[in-house]
Amino acid sequence: MSNIFIYQINSSIYNQVFDWSFKEDCQTKQHYDTWIPKKSDLIVYCNDKETKKNVLNELWEDMQPDNQFIRDRINAKARARRKKLND
């Protein structure tokens, strides 16, 4: 059994704080340098389906700059590795 880390998002849509986490099988992956989560890896803890969907979309949008940073870093490492092989 793993410990599930629960985070919070302050929703600008609902002016309310919601708890969220990654799925259980992603609890270890979230600490990897190169892991980029999928939207399906996220869990929002809320009873109302529509609210859950909206908060999930807001959370996903908030995560995009971080995900892009990871993609850019992975690509930079790959370019450096290819350049080193070609030199």
Residue 43: CB partners within 8 Å, gap ≥ 6?
20, 21, 22, 23
Which pLDDT score, from 0 to 100, does residue 59 have?
A: 97
pTM, two decimal places: 0.85
Provide the Cα torsion 48, 18, 22, 78; round to 10°: 120
Selection from 28, 22, 66 nearest residue 44 by Cα: 22
CA distances from 83 to 5, 70, 73, 78 (A): 39, 20, 15, 8
**What is the enclosing helix (H) or strand (E) of 62?**
helix 49-86
Question: Which pLDDT score, from 0 to 100, does residue 33 have?
Answer: 87
To the nearest 10°, report the CA torsion of 59, 62, 65, 69.
-40
- What digits encode the pLDDT tens for the residues 45-82? 999 999 999 999 999 999 999 999 999 999 999 999 99
